[in-house]
Structure 1
């Protein structure tokens, strides 16, 4: 009896292509459930090792937020106690707004001698657009891979979405530090 017959069957009963497909399926199952181990689990995003909860300060830059009155918006943000935060389209808890600082809007102005200087933007429309830096605090953990706030990694460059009943906008993290040093 041949091991592989003329039709490609092993011992005349099982097709080699079927064996290959079964082997691929088994390897995929092993790769998904066994190989990553506990470090590959989403539940482990906070990292192990007894990381303690601490106060974390997050600085966020918001560019070009369109609003009816930028001064009113800055004043409102300075009054808000807490705001809901969304990271990567996932709710990430609440942070307390400590301060909202408006950044001046400059334009490059060419001078008669050919030099260029920065001037405040004189256009009236600029009253309806605001650039600002928000400083917020909340509870988080420092892991080997950065800070984690409500099971979401937050690093410089992360985009946070701030949401409440009156506004919803996005900004980019420019600093994350611990207040418990």
Structure 2
């Protein structure tokens, strides 16, 4: 008796294609339930550290921006439309709004913006502080990767505006 007969049956009883399909299904089930990958969060290999994030806000329109956002407050932090929890506002620096004005000698000098509507527009440099998972060069805040250049959203009870990350410093 041959191991595989002319009709492709193993020992004349079971089709070899059925055996192959059953083995594939068995390996898939074993791969899913017995040997799960590291697709989920790995708690043991990552360390939670305090991270400082500098974000710049350009063109914030508000009557009293110094009353809206202050150092010591908490703000919600949203990265790529995914909430990443709350972070502390460590420092708020208001950047000057200047215009490049050409001088009679041909040089350029930065001078304060004289337009009336410019008094309601502010540029800010905000330092935020929160707990993040740091694993090598990968920093995750609220389960979402943060990197320089990533647009974020800051929200409080009276404000919601966009900023851009310009620096990340693990402590």
Give TM-score scaled by structure 2 length. 0.73
- Structure 1 residue ranges (4+ consecutive) displaced by more than 4 angstroms after TM superposition: none
Alignment correspondent of 1:92: 84
Alignment correspondent of 2:93: 101
Alignment correspondent of 1:4: none
Alignment correspondent of 2:57: 62
Q: Distance in 2 between matches of 1:114 and 1:73?
A: 36
On the 8 A contact 1:77/1:99 being kept in 2, the answer is no
On the 8 A contact 2:47/2:135 being kept in 1, the answer is no
On the 8 A contact 1:54/1:139 being kept in 2, the answer is yes
How many Å apart are 1:125 and its aligned residue? 1.1
**Length, aligned pairs only:** 140
DSSP 3-state at the match of 1:139: strand
On the 8 A contact 2:152/2:163 being kept in 1, the answer is yes
Q: Distance in 2 between matches of 1:121 and 1:38?
A: 57
Alignment correspondent of 2:20: none
Alignment correspondent of 2:124: 132
Alignment correspondent of 1:163: 155
Q: Distance in 2 between matches of 1:103 and 1:171?
A: 14
On the 8 A contact 1:88/1:159 being kept in 2, the answer is yes
Alignment correspondent of 2:142: 150
How many Å apart are 1:79 and its aligned residue? 5.0
Alignment RMSD, CA only? 2.2
DSSP 3-state at the match of 1:125: helix
Give TM-score scaled by structure 1 length. 0.70
Question: Unaligned stretches of 5+ in structure 1?
Answer: 1-25
How many Å apart are 1:159 and its aligned residue? 1.0
Bigger fraction of residues in helix = 1
Q: Distance in 2 between matches of 1:84 and 1:52?
A: 22
How many Å apart are 1:75 and its aligned residue? 3.7
Q: Which has the larger radius of gyration?
A: 2
Alignment correspondent of 1:111: 103
